[in-house]
């Protein structure tokens, strides 16, 4: 089951199912007033199915997607793939040993990524910083977590990163990672009773520039050095997620040092069994 948020023809924000090329708005109730309330239910799929449905809306070029988030925090894990370890070590000689150590350590790197206002949904713009020269997308399998930190589904995540800022000094990580329109989530959450095998959760990144594919690479969760459950339990240590959370689980695809995103690039990230998140890149005021 795929569930998301959108704007209907009356301009209202709606929770909707995605079925057979249609968005099906749900009639929320006092017991289940929001998407996050559905995700917090003991059985989110049953909770969604319990709600009455409005008339389907065909998905087309006029569809107004919203990121499938309410008040949840977005967190991210780093250096969970070998490629990510290598890339982070390439960013900075001074920090190389830190990234090497965290790849092999019991404790993972987990950092705060975004508030909901900094998150873009499908076909909404994502931003590259004006004070950075080396900006990349990071395609990530993203866990949708209930307030009890139960994994209730998957979505597609884009952990935008300014690699030159982080490479200058690891203490600049928050500035390299957290800013306006720094995170993409969507186009929906695929609710799951249990996760598929890691081999089935593939990740594909394609970047389009002026109509041409200028970057194309794929990996899968099988290449991860850490387990989803392990990352979640570290996130939850002495940490309360009253509204639930989203956890980006790291990237195994990092463009080489000679590549940087440019305004008007289109980033397409596909997670096997979930869907494709597409975002146009913007930069500067008024973009």
pLDDT digits (tens, 9 = 90+) for 159-197: 999 999 988 888 999 999 999 999 999 999 999 988 999
Residues 79 and 30 in one domain: no
What average pLDDT is seen over the chain? 93
Q: In the 8-state DSSP scheme, what is residue 60? A: S
Ramachandran area for residue 181 (φ above 0: left; ψ -120 to 50: alpha; else beta) = left
Residues 149 and 57 in one domain: no
**pLDDT tens for residues 195-244?**
999 989 999 999 999 999 999 999 999 999 899 999 999 999 999 999 99
Largest CA distance in the chain: 58
Helices and strands (DSSP H and E) totals, the chain = 7, 20
Residues 158 and 236 in one domain: yes
Q: How far apart are CA 10 and CA 60, in angstroms?
A: 16
pLDDT at 259 over 80: yes
pLDDT at 278 over 60: yes
* % of the chain surpassing 90 pLDDT: 82
Residues 49 and 83 in one domain: no
Specify the pLDDT at position 277: 98
Specify the pLDDT at position 170: 86
Strand order in the sheet with 212-220: 126-127, 275-282, 266-271, 202-209, 212-220
Of residues 80 and 27, more confidence is placed in 27
272 CB-contact burial (10 Å; exposed 0-12 / middle 13-18 / buried 19+): middle
Specify the pLDDT at position 106: 86
End-of-domain residue from the set 11, 34, 66: 66
Residues 270 and 238 in one domain: yes
pLDDT at 87 over 90: no
Alpha helices (H) in the chain, listed in sequence order:
35-40, 44-49, 82-91, 96-104, 163-168, 173-177, 228-235
Residues 44 and 115 in one domain: no
Residues 135 and 168 in one domain: yes
Specify the pLDDT at position 237: 97
As a whole number of Å, the end-to-end CA separation of the chain is 34
Q: Give the structural domain span for 148.
A: 73-283
Specify the pLDDT at position 285: 77
SS3 158: strand
Q: How far apart are CA 85 and CA 99, in angstroms?
A: 6
Specify the pLDDT at position 86: 55
End-of-domain residue from the set 44, 66, 88: 66
Q: In the 8-state DSSP scheme, what is residue 224? A: B
Residues 107 and 231 in one domain: yes
The tokens describing 121, both together, are 């949904």
* % of the chain surpassing 70 pLDDT: 93
Residues 40 and 115 in one domain: no
End-of-domain residue from the set 41, 66, 91: 66
Specify the pLDDT at position 97: 63
Number of domains in the chain: 2
Residues 62 and 146 in one domain: no
**pLDDT tens for residues 92-143?**
555 556 776 777 788 899 999 999 999 999 999 999 999 999 999 999 999 9
Specify the pLDDT at position 212: 98
Q: Would you give the distance in Å from CA 33 to the centre of its chain? A: 23
Residues 82 and 196 in one domain: yes
Residues 149 and 122 in one domain: yes
Specify the pLDDT at position 167: 86
Predicted structure pTM score: 0.93
Q: What is the dihedral of CA 226, 155, 250, 264, to 10 degrees?
A: 160
Local confidence band at 12 (pLDDT 50, 70, 90 cut-offs): very high
Residues paired with residue 120 on neighbouring β-strands, in sequence order: 184
Cis status, amide bond into 8, omega within 30 of 0? no
Q: Would you give the distance in Å from CA 210 to the centre of its chain? A: 25
């Amino acid at each position: 089951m795929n569930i998301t948020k959108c704007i209907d023809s009356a301009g209202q924000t709606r929770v909707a199912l995605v079925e057979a090329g249609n968005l099906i708005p749900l009639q929320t109730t006092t017991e289940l007033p929001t998407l996050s309330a559905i995700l917090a239910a003991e059985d989110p799929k049953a909770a969604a199915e319990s709600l009455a449905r409005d008339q389907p809306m065909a998905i087309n070029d006029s569809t107004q997607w919203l990121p499938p988030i309410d008040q949840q925090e977005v967190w991210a894990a780093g250096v969970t793939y070998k490629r990510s370890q290598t890339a982070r070590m390439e960013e900075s000689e001074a920090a190389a040993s830190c990234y090497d150590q965290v790849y092999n350590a019991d404790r993972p790197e987990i950092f705060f990524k975004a508030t909901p206002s900094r998150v873009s949904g499908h076909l909404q713009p994502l931003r590259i910083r004006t004070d950075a020269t080396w900006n990349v997308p990071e395609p990530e399998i993203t866990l949708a977590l209930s307030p009890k930190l139960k994994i209730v589904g998957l979505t597609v995540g884009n952990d935008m990163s300014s690699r030159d800022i982080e490479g200058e000094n690891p203490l600049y990580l928050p500035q390299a990672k957290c800013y306006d329109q720094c995170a993409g989530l969507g186009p929906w959450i695929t609710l799951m009773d249990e996760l598929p095998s890691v081999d089935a959760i593939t990740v594909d990144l394609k970047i389009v520039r002026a109509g041409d594919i200028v970057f194309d690479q794929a990996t899968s969760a099988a290449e991860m050095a850490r387990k989803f459950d392990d990352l979640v339990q570290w996130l939850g240590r002495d940490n309360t997620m009253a509204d639930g959370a989203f956890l980006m689980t790291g990237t195994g695809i990092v463009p080489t040092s000679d590549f940087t995103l440019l305004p008007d690039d289109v980033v397409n990230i596909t997670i096997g069994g979930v869907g494709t998140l597409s975002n146009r890149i913007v930069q500067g005021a008024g973009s």
